[in-house]
Amino acid sequence: MSAESQKAKRERVVEVCRRMGEMYPHVESALSYHSPFTLVICVLLSAQTTDAAVNKVTPELFRRWPTPEAMAEADPAEVGEVIRTIGFWRSKSQHCVEASQMIVSDYGGQVPSTMEDLTRLPGVGRKTANIVLNKAFGICEGIAVDTHVYRIASRLRLTKADTPLAAEQDLLALIPSELWSPVNEQWIHFGREVCMARSPRCAECQLADLCPSAGQPNRYFKGKAK
Protein backbone atom coordinates (compact mmCIF):
# COMPACT_ATOMS: atom_id res chain seq x y z
CA MET A 1 0.00 0.00 0.00
CA SER A 2 1.50 3.33 -1.09
CA ALA A 3 1.93 6.18 1.35
CA GLU A 4 -0.77 8.84 1.30
CA SER A 5 0.32 12.06 -0.34
CA GLN A 6 0.10 15.38 1.52
CA LYS A 7 -2.45 16.56 -1.06
CA ALA A 8 -4.67 13.54 -0.42
CA LYS A 9 -4.27 13.95 3.33
CA ARG A 10 -5.27 17.62 3.10
CA GLU A 11 -8.35 16.73 1.07
CA ARG A 12 -9.28 14.08 3.62
CA VAL A 13 -8.92 16.37 6.63
CA VAL A 14 -10.95 19.11 4.90
CA GLU A 15 -13.75 16.56 4.53
CA VAL A 16 -13.33 15.61 8.18
CA CYS A 17 -13.76 19.27 9.14
CA ARG A 18 -16.79 19.62 6.87
CA ARG A 19 -18.51 16.67 8.50
CA MET A 20 -17.58 17.86 11.98
CA GLY A 21 -19.21 21.17 11.11
CA GLU A 22 -22.41 19.37 10.15
CA MET A 23 -22.39 17.31 13.34
CA TYR A 24 -21.54 20.21 15.68
CA PRO A 25 -22.56 23.45 13.95
CA HIS A 26 -23.07 25.55 17.09
CA VAL A 27 -20.82 23.89 19.63
CA GLU A 28 -19.86 25.89 22.71
CA SER A 29 -17.31 25.42 25.48
CA ALA A 30 -18.40 23.28 28.40
CA LEU A 31 -16.51 25.61 30.76
CA SER A 32 -18.51 28.30 32.57
CA TYR A 33 -16.80 31.69 32.28
CA HIS A 34 -17.91 35.29 31.86
CA SER A 35 -14.79 37.30 31.00
CA PRO A 36 -11.32 36.88 29.51
CA PHE A 37 -9.92 36.62 33.03
CA THR A 38 -12.31 33.90 34.19
CA LEU A 39 -11.68 32.06 30.91
CA VAL A 40 -7.92 32.07 31.54
CA ILE A 41 -8.45 30.66 35.02
CA CYS A 42 -10.97 28.05 33.85
CA VAL A 43 -8.74 26.74 31.08
CA LEU A 44 -5.70 26.79 33.36
CA LEU A 45 -7.64 24.69 35.89
CA SER A 46 -8.94 22.27 33.25
CA ALA A 47 -5.55 20.73 32.46
CA GLN A 48 -5.78 16.97 33.17
CA THR A 49 -9.17 17.57 34.81
CA THR A 50 -12.70 17.38 33.41
CA ASP A 51 -14.58 20.56 32.55
CA ALA A 52 -17.41 19.37 34.82
CA ALA A 53 -15.03 19.21 37.77
CA VAL A 54 -13.78 22.72 37.02
CA ASN A 55 -17.33 24.06 36.82
CA LYS A 56 -18.01 22.74 40.32
CA VAL A 57 -15.26 24.80 41.92
CA THR A 58 -15.29 28.03 39.90
CA PRO A 59 -18.55 29.55 41.25
CA GLU A 60 -17.03 29.82 44.74
CA LEU A 61 -13.61 30.68 43.34
CA PHE A 62 -14.95 33.63 41.36
CA ARG A 63 -17.32 34.68 44.14
CA ARG A 64 -14.33 35.19 46.40
CA TRP A 65 -11.84 36.43 43.79
CA PRO A 66 -13.78 37.75 40.77
CA THR A 67 -11.06 39.93 39.22
CA PRO A 68 -7.31 39.76 38.58
CA GLU A 69 -6.83 42.42 41.27
CA ALA A 70 -8.68 40.35 43.86
CA MET A 71 -6.96 37.06 43.01
CA ALA A 72 -3.55 38.75 42.91
CA GLU A 73 -4.01 39.45 46.63
CA ALA A 74 -5.20 35.94 47.48
CA ASP A 75 -3.32 33.42 49.57
CA PRO A 76 -2.55 30.41 47.32
CA ALA A 77 -3.37 28.13 50.24
CA GLU A 78 -6.89 29.59 50.45
CA VAL A 79 -7.34 29.26 46.69
CA GLY A 80 -6.15 25.67 47.02
CA GLU A 81 -8.83 24.91 49.58
CA VAL A 82 -11.49 26.01 47.10
CA ILE A 83 -10.15 23.98 44.17
CA ARG A 84 -8.73 20.96 46.00
CA THR A 85 -11.19 18.53 44.37
CA ILE A 86 -9.49 18.93 40.99
CA GLY A 87 -6.20 17.43 39.85
CA PHE A 88 -2.91 19.19 40.63
CA TRP A 89 -4.74 21.72 42.77
CA ARG A 90 -1.64 22.84 44.68
CA SER A 91 0.30 23.95 41.61
CA LYS A 92 -2.83 25.32 39.95
CA SER A 93 -3.68 27.48 42.97
CA GLN A 94 -0.19 28.96 42.83
CA HIS A 95 -0.54 29.58 39.10
CA CYS A 96 -3.92 31.28 39.58
CA VAL A 97 -2.42 33.79 41.98
CA GLU A 98 0.83 34.30 40.06
CA ALA A 99 -0.93 34.71 36.71
CA SER A 100 -3.29 37.26 38.28
CA GLN A 101 -0.36 39.16 39.73
CA MET A 102 1.30 39.35 36.31
CA ILE A 103 -1.94 40.44 34.64
CA VAL A 104 -2.17 43.28 37.16
CA SER A 105 1.50 44.28 37.25
CA ASP A 106 2.41 43.85 33.58
CA TYR A 107 -0.87 44.36 31.72
CA GLY A 108 -2.84 46.86 33.80
CA GLY A 109 -5.39 44.31 34.95
CA GLN A 110 -6.36 43.33 31.40
CA VAL A 111 -5.78 39.85 30.01
CA PRO A 112 -3.28 40.22 27.13
CA SER A 113 -4.41 39.34 23.63
CA THR A 114 -1.26 37.96 22.01
CA MET A 115 0.20 34.47 22.06
CA GLU A 116 3.56 35.78 23.28
CA ASP A 117 2.09 37.65 26.23
CA LEU A 118 -0.42 34.97 27.22
CA THR A 119 2.23 32.27 27.33
CA ARG A 120 4.25 34.43 29.72
CA LEU A 121 1.56 33.92 32.35
CA PRO A 122 2.35 31.18 34.89
CA GLY A 123 0.46 28.00 34.09
CA VAL A 124 -0.53 29.15 30.59
CA GLY A 125 0.87 27.14 27.70
CA ARG A 126 0.16 27.33 24.00
CA LYS A 127 -3.00 25.22 24.23
CA THR A 128 -4.53 27.50 26.87
CA ALA A 129 -3.44 30.59 24.97
CA ASN A 130 -5.04 29.31 21.76
CA ILE A 131 -8.36 28.82 23.54
CA VAL A 132 -8.27 32.25 25.21
CA LEU A 133 -7.34 34.04 21.99
CA ASN A 134 -10.08 32.26 20.06
CA LYS A 135 -12.93 32.54 22.55
CA ALA A 136 -12.15 35.82 24.30
CA PHE A 137 -10.73 37.86 21.43
CA GLY A 138 -11.82 36.14 18.22
CA ILE A 139 -8.19 35.58 17.26
CA CYS A 140 -7.17 32.25 15.78
CA GLU A 141 -3.42 31.69 15.62
CA GLY A 142 -3.47 27.92 15.95
CA ILE A 143 -5.38 24.86 17.14
CA ALA A 144 -5.69 23.96 20.81
CA VAL A 145 -4.62 20.31 20.87
CA ASP A 146 -5.88 18.59 24.01
CA THR A 147 -6.08 14.85 24.61
CA HIS A 148 -9.21 14.47 22.45
CA VAL A 149 -7.82 16.36 19.46
CA TYR A 150 -4.49 14.54 19.82
CA ARG A 151 -6.18 11.13 19.95
CA ILE A 152 -8.44 11.79 16.98
CA ALA A 153 -5.64 13.27 14.88
CA SER A 154 -3.49 10.23 15.66
CA ARG A 155 -6.25 7.77 14.77
CA LEU A 156 -6.91 9.63 11.54
CA ARG A 157 -3.15 9.39 10.90
CA LEU A 158 -2.86 13.10 10.47
CA THR A 159 0.09 13.10 12.84
CA LYS A 160 2.70 10.74 14.22
CA ALA A 161 3.87 13.28 16.78
CA ASP A 162 4.74 12.18 20.30
CA THR A 163 3.27 15.28 21.95
CA PRO A 164 0.18 17.45 21.48
CA LEU A 165 2.40 20.49 20.88
CA ALA A 166 4.13 18.78 17.98
CA ALA A 167 0.82 17.41 16.71
CA GLU A 168 -0.52 20.96 16.45
CA GLN A 169 2.16 21.82 13.91
CA ASP A 170 1.18 18.82 11.79
CA LEU A 171 -2.48 19.86 11.88
CA LEU A 172 -1.69 23.48 11.02
CA ALA A 173 0.22 22.29 7.96
CA LEU A 174 -2.75 20.20 6.78
CA ILE A 175 -5.88 22.14 7.75
CA PRO A 176 -6.61 25.45 5.95
CA SER A 177 -6.38 28.37 8.38
CA GLU A 178 -10.01 29.36 7.83
CA LEU A 179 -11.02 26.00 9.35
CA TRP A 180 -8.84 26.19 12.49
CA SER A 181 -11.23 28.03 14.79
CA PRO A 182 -13.89 25.35 15.52
CA VAL A 183 -11.57 22.33 15.49
CA ASN A 184 -10.93 22.15 19.24
CA GLU A 185 -14.54 22.27 20.43
CA GLN A 186 -15.92 20.11 17.62
CA TRP A 187 -13.28 17.43 18.04
CA ILE A 188 -13.67 17.47 21.84
CA HIS A 189 -17.38 16.73 21.48
CA PHE A 190 -16.70 14.04 18.89
CA GLY A 191 -14.07 12.51 21.18
CA ARG A 192 -16.50 12.38 24.08
CA GLU A 193 -19.45 11.04 22.10
CA VAL A 194 -17.94 8.78 19.39
CA CYS A 195 -14.15 8.50 19.33
CA MET A 196 -13.63 7.73 23.00
CA ALA A 197 -10.23 6.67 24.27
CA ARG A 198 -10.98 3.08 25.27
CA SER A 199 -14.31 2.13 23.73
CA PRO A 200 -14.72 4.11 20.48
CA ARG A 201 -17.89 3.59 18.50
CA CYS A 202 -16.20 2.83 15.19
CA ALA A 203 -19.22 0.95 13.80
CA GLU A 204 -21.35 4.09 14.19
CA CYS A 205 -18.68 6.64 13.34
CA GLN A 206 -19.57 9.25 10.73
CA LEU A 207 -15.88 9.44 9.80
CA ALA A 208 -15.20 5.70 9.49
CA ASP A 209 -14.64 5.86 5.73
CA LEU A 210 -12.03 8.59 6.28
CA CYS A 211 -10.25 6.87 9.18
CA PRO A 212 -7.43 4.40 8.47
CA SER A 213 -7.70 3.20 12.08
CA ALA A 214 -11.42 2.38 12.05
CA GLY A 215 -11.92 -0.98 13.69
CA GLN A 216 -8.44 -0.98 15.23
CA PRO A 217 -8.41 2.26 17.25
CA ASN A 218 -6.42 1.02 20.23
CA ARG A 219 -3.40 0.54 18.00
CA TYR A 220 -3.33 4.30 17.56
CA PHE A 221 -4.39 5.28 21.07
CA LYS A 222 -2.70 8.46 22.26
CA GLY A 223 -2.91 9.84 25.77
CA LYS A 224 -5.67 9.55 28.31
CA ALA A 225 -9.25 10.66 28.03
CA LYS A 226 -10.13 14.00 29.53
Residue 127 catalytic? Answer: yes
Distance CA 68, CA 78 (A): 16
What is the rounded CA–CA span in Å between residue 221 and residue 204? 18
Q: Verify whether residue 146 is a known catalytic residue.
A: yes
Beta strand residue intervals within the chain, DSSP E: none
The Cα–Cα gap between 19 and 219 comes to 24
Cα distance between residue 170 and residue 166, in whole Å? 7
Phi-psi region of 38 (alpha: psi -120 to 50; beta: other; left: phi over 0): alpha
Question: Of residues 92, 146, 222, 226, which has the active-site annotation?
Answer: 146
Angle at 176 between CA 175 and CA 180, to 5 degrees: 75
Active-site pick, 92, 127, 135, 226: 127
The residues carrying an active-site annotation are 127, 146
